Amino acid sequence: MPEGIAVGVEDGVATIEFVDGSLRGPSLAKLFEAVAAAGLSPGVVVKRTRPWSYTAPESVVRAAGLLDDGTPAPAEENAKDAKGYDDGQPDMDWSRKAIDDFAAKLTPALDTTGEPNKQAAIDAIRAAQKTG
């Protein structure tokens, strides 16, 4: 994905967040071109709030060039992030229900059920843990 754009995929739906706001217009133009080329309704792109993001089918986001090809990082890059054990903190291996349950048990409790995807819920938990 291009620098300044964060994209997460869950169950065939991509969530796009524009870290660099100047990329929003040109990227959305590419996205809607890909929607039209796929013969889909523009309504497949949905604007979300908290955080501001857009969701669309993964295939359309990939066709617009907003998503990497999914090639895994080189082994040495993966190895530096791998813990090799469960540290008790939620990560992308957890189910969405487990992440939401974990957040609800925090003090003070955190409601992540409104987050658009697992990564956003995990990010909200980490932010709450830093401030709490």
Average pLDDT of 72-78? 42
Q: Where is pLDDT greater, at 51 or 72?
A: 51
**Residues paired with 55 in a beta bridge:** 15, 46
Tens digit of each residue's pLDDT (9 = 90 or more) over 3-57: 888 888 888 888 999 888 888 899 999 999 999 998 888 888 888 887 788 999 9
Does residue 85 sit within a domain?
no
Cα–Cα dist 114/60, whole Å = 24
Number of structural domains (the chain) is 2
Q: Which residues contact 51 (CB under 8 A, 6 or more apart)?
A: 17, 120
> Residue 79 pLDDT more than 50?
no
Domain that holds residue 37: 5-63
Contact indicator for 8, 120 with CB cutoff of 8 Å: yes
Does residue 73 sit within a domain?
no
Cα–Cα dist 71/8, whole Å = 14
- Smallest CA-to-CA distance from 64 within 35, 40, 85 is with 35
Give the pLDDT score at 75: 44
Q: Calculate the average pLDDT of the chain.
A: 82
Picking from 46, 63, 80, the residue at the C-terminal end of a domain is 63
- Please give the DSSP secondary-structure letter assigned to residue 70: -
Tokens describing residue 114: 């409104």
Is residue 9 domain-shared with residue 54, that is, in the same domain?
Answer: yes
